[in-house]
Amino acid sequence: GGTTMAAVRDVEIDPDGTFKYILVRLQRPGGEEQRDIVRGTKAAEFHNHIFEKVNPEMEKLGYECKCLGGGKIDHNSKDKKIRVFGLSTGYGKADHSVTVEILKKVYTDYEITWSDDKK
């Protein structure tokens, strides 16, 4: 019955470059269980494009999704660095410190930083 939350990956971002990202909260309808995930891709021209892709995927798995905000990620896989910055016009600024903690779970050997800079 249903996929466990653990089956949903914490992070799905492009392997390199600078791109938009969103922080999404997953919740079981009526349940206490909730979890935040990070999604980002160069393919998305706007932050809502990412959400429009994630939302139906997660609904199929039985989760309600809420976008907690967005920003940009600069992913340098060669130097193993990720920088989180900027904001989403539509969703507002994600709490980048939360995003960094989630990224650290996956990119354990990276230097990951954030700022409120626009670029």
Cβ neighbours of residue 70 under 8 Å, at least 6 residues apart? 20, 21, 22, 23, 47, 50, 87, 88, 90, 91, 92, 93, 94
Indicate if 47 belongs to the active site. yes
19-66 pLDDT tens trace: 999 999 999 988 888 999 999 999 999 999 999 999 999 999 999 999
pTM equals 0.94
Rounded to whole angstroms, how far apart are CA atoms 105 and 91? Answer: 24
Give the full edge-to-edge strand order of the sheet including 11-13.
11-13, 34-41, 17-27, 64-76, 81-85, 111-114
66-110 pLDDT tens trace: 999 999 999 999 999 999 999 999 999 999 999 999 999 999 999
Alpha helices, H only, 1-119: 47-60, 96-106
Q: Which of 47, 49, 75, 96 is catalytic?
A: 47
The whole-number pLDDT of residue 1 equals 46
20 annotated as belonging to a binding site for a ligand: yes
